[in-house]
Amino acid sequence: PALPEGWSAEKDFKAIGSITASSQRTIEPVGPHFLAHARRARHKRTFSEDDRI
């Protein structure tokens, strides 16, 4: 939507809430994307760090 009149925030970004609900589940340890996830998890890398490699 269009920006309402008089809207302002520091650096034009305003955090309001945070994620309300989540559940603990287990991903199946199968497939190339899981192996990539496991690699990131074991080396504690983020997505962008992983992209750079």
Contacts to other proteins by CB under 8 A: 1-4, 7, 9, 11-35, 37-42, 46-47
d(CA 7, CA 17): 17
State the nearest-atom distance from the C-beta of 11 to other proteins, in Å.
6
State the nearest-atom distance from the C-beta of 52 to other proteins, in Å.
14
State the nearest-atom distance from the C-beta of 53 to other proteins, in Å.
16
Classify residue 37 as exposed, middle or buried by CB count within 10 Å of its CB (0-12, 13-18, 19+): middle
Residue number with CB closer to other proteins (28 or 52)? 28
At 9, is the secondary structure helix, strand, or coil? Answer: coil
